[in-house]
Amino acid sequence: MKILSLYNLKGGVGKTTTAVNLAHAAARDGFNVLLCDLDPQGASTFYLQAAPPTKMKTGKLLKGKSFAHKQVRETEFIHLDVLPAHLEFRNLDRRLDEEKKSDTALASLFEGFHGDYDLIIADAPAGLTLLSENLFQLSDLVLVPTIPSTLSLNCFEQVSEFFKKEKLSKKKLKGFFSMADTRKRLHRESIEKVYHTPNNPFLEAVIPSASIVEQMGEQRRPVSAFARNSRAANAFGDLWNIVRAELKID
């Protein structure tokens, strides 16, 4: 079982959108996928029309096993389940802090799903918290959606510095461009510049800024479920193929 996290210090950069679309693409390839919506805002849960849990005890959830299993919801898509978010997840950090090995306390939750899923995709909230640290430790790949602009690229640098400081493997930290508007010179130049840096840590898939992606809110489905041949759906498909190769799953 592989663990993929969608992460950024910033909000509103495409973490949730990408988590949902990659989860759908992976499920369509026949992998059993669990999308863990760890953001109390619950946007992934909403997009996949999953019912939120009625009662949530984060302490119990972190232990994994039957309580965690009971929270899982099937989606309309074969092979794709969701662990829905709950407002209580805003206290996940405090909970993790109370655990002994606080930087890997999330491990039992994920381990509890071992054997049931080929891939866990974690949709993380913004910020640099204990929860993010847990995800950095436990993930096989940390994907950072980045808008092609100087400030967003600075954010990627900050995360990269954190990986260095904490001696986390930088090989598993990868960026990709999200919400790219190639009509903008700044976007085009930012992308070119990054692709030409030595040891470029960005995957070569670019998700365009497109109004069809925003329609996910009304459709409450991944883009490829309602606009299969759109440019955005193809871009998410390309990103999935690259991520799949990075994760080495087949």
Ligand X SMILES: Nc1ncnc2c1ncn2[C@@H]1O[C@H](COP(=O)(O)OP(=O)(O)O)[C@@H](O)[C@H]1O
User: Rule CB under 5 A: which residues touch Mg ion?
Assistant: 15-16, 43
Is the CB of 32 or the CB of 178 nearer to Mg ion? 178
Which does residue 139 touch among ligand X, Mg ion, none (CB within 5 to 8 A, set by kind)?
A: none
- Tell me if 16 contacts ligand X by CB under 6 A: yes
Q: Which of 178, 117, 116, 138 is nearest to 38 (CA)?
A: 138
13 binds ligand X (CB under 6 A): yes
CA pair distance 90, 75, nearest whole angstrom: 24
Is 27 an interacting residue with respect to ligand X (CB under 6 A)? no
135 close to 107: Cβ distance less than 8 angstroms = no
Answer yes or no whether residue 213 interacts with ligand X by CB under 6 A: yes
Question: x/- contact string, 214-243, with ligand X (CB under 6 A)?
Answer: x-x---------------x-----------
Tokens (6 digits) for 179: 């919400």
Neighbour tally for 144: CB within 10 Å: 27
| 87-100 burial: b if 16+ Cβ within 10 Å, else e | ebbeebbebbeebe
Q: For the segment 163-202, give every residue that binds ligand X (CB under 6 A).
A: 179
Complex with Mg ion: residue 40 or 201, whichever CB lies closer: 40
Which of 17, 132, 139, 146 touches ligand X (CB under 6 A)? 17
Q: How far is the CB of 123 from Mg ion (least distance, A)?
A: 6
One-letter amino acid at 98 equals: E
Cβ distance to ligand X smaller for residue 105 or 210? 210
CB of 11 to ligand X, least distance (A): 4
127 binds ligand X per the rule CB under 6 A: no
Using CB under 6 A as the binding rule, whether residue 12 contacts ligand X is answered as: yes
Residue 84 · residue 45 · CB < 8 Å: yes
Are 129 and 86 contacting, i.e. CB atoms less than 8 angstroms apart?
no
DSSP-assigned states of every residue in 102-150 = GGGTTHHHHHTTBTTBSEEEEEPPSS--HHHHHHHHH-SEEEEEE-SSH
| Segment interacting with ligand X (CB under 6 A) among 77-85, 103-111, 190-198, 209-217 | 209-217
Q: Would you count residue 207 as binding ligand X (CB under 6 A)?
A: yes
Q: How many CB atoms lie within 10 A of CB 34?
A: 23
- The footprint of ligand X (CB under 6 A) covers 8, 11-17, 43, 179, 207, 209-210, 213-214, 216, 232
